């Protein structure tokens, strides 16, 4: 399957309390020949299937419950449209999204999620996708409309996310509080890892990790490792699945940025996807 090439990369930013966007050429509804839904919640995945059936009658729809399953299906055959959540039990949705963009596995990607923690929002500002739908705020009919808008190349973003983005300053609280190096260390020690473990993973000295730990705790106003872990989870730097698995949304991107900036090599890169990533377009 040959995917359409955008003449101008999607780009969005906040300027004078409005969204400014340049999106790609419209994708004719007839070009949406295959839809992949990546959603951990099976019941909600079926609701998304029903919405796709109404928006694109007769178009084949494949449902995947795991992030890795969705990537395998898309690598076997790219899709015209992907609907995906941000929460899976095997991978984090932010990382799945970056892989889809980097490997050009879909012509259009629409996120369907209620997850809007600080770290995820900051990461998504650099991600390439075409729509963000908040199912907690909008109904089924709005979803059908949003799907058609995204397929037409105009982009869609739910009002709840618009308000949250417009209410934030610059790169967001984490970006304002922590340096890039501190952010990288926070992503490791945020699961309770000690200085030695973090130093090993990041290829840093224990003294350097200790220095960053003290600075992070001071800036976040926490005074114990337990409270530091709770803050990491609250901000979305670390996510713990119901099975107890530790996920770090966008962590490989942080490490790749560190390596590209010449600040040393890092271990355990999770196959970061190459390519440019930009934030979500304004509503059509």
List pLDDT tens digits, range 19-54: 434 344 444 555 678 999 999 998 999 999 999 999
pLDDT at 9: 37
**Higher per-residue pLDDT: 250 or 279:** 250
Helix (H, G, I), strand (E, B) or coil at 91: coil
Largest CA distance in the chain: 60
Phi then psi for residue 214, to 5 deg, are -60, -40
pTM as predicted: 0.65
Let me know if 215 is exposed, middle or buried by CB neighbors in 10 A (0-12, 13-18, 19+). Answer: middle
pLDDT for 219-268, tens place per residue? 888 888 888 888 888 887 887 777 778 888 777 777 776 666 654 443 33
Torsion (CA) 159, 164, 165, 168 in degrees, nearest 10 = 160
* Structural contact between residues 8 and 33, judged by C-beta atoms closer than 8 angstroms: no
All structural domains of the chain, each given as residue ranges with its CATH number in brackets, are 11-166 (3.40.50.2300), 173-260 (1.10.10.10)
State both tokens at 232.
């990491």
Structure tokens that stand for 119 in this block: 């770290």
For the segment 194-213, what is each residue's pLDDT rounded down to a tens digit? 999 989 988 899 999 999 99
N- to C-terminal Cα separation, the chain: 27
3-state secondary structure of 3: coil
Q: What is the enclosing helix (H) or strand (E) of 38?
A: strand 35-38
CA distance 43 to 250: 27
Helical ranges in the chain per DSSP H:
42-55, 67-76, 93-102, 118-124, 140-151, 159-166, 173-177, 180-189, 195-202, 206-220, 225-235, 251-260
How far is Cα 112 from Cα 186, in angstroms, rounded to an integer? Answer: 27
């Amino acid at each position: 399957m040959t995917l359409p090439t955008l003449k101008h990369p999607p780009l969005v930013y906040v300027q004078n309390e409005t969204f400014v966007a340049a999106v790609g050429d419209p994708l004719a509804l007839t070009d949406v020949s295959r839809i992949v839904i990546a959603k951990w919640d099976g019941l909600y995945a079926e609701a998304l299937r029903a919405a796709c059936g109404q928006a694109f009658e007769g178009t084949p729809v494949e449902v995947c419950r795991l992030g890795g399953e969705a990537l395998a299906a898309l690598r076997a055959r790219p899709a015209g449209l992907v609907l995906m959540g941000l929460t899976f039990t095997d991978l984090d949705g932010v990382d799945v999204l970056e892989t889809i963009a980097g490997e050009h596995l879909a012509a259009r990607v629409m996120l369907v999620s209620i997850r809007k923690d600080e770290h995820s929002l900051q990461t998504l500002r650099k991600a390439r996708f075409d729509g963000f739908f908040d199912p907690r705020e909008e109904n089924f009919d709005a979803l059908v409309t949003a799907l058609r808008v995204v397929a037409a190349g105009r982009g869609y973003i739910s009002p709840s996310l618009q308000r949250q983005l417009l209410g934030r300053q610059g790169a967001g609280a984490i970006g304002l509080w922590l340096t890039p190096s501190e952010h990288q260390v926070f992503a490791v020690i945020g699961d309770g890892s000690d200085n030695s473990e973090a130093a090993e993973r990041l290829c840093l000295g224990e003294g350097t990790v200790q220095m960053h730990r003290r600075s992070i705790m001071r800036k976040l106003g926490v005074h114990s490792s337990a409270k530091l872990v709770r803050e990491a989870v609250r901000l979305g730097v670390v996510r713990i699945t119901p099975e107890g698995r530790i996920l770090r949304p966008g962590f490989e991107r942080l490490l790749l940025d560190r390596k590209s900036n010449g600040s040393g090599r890092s271990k355990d890169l999770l196959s970061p996807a190459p390519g440019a990533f930009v934030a979500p377009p304004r509503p059509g």
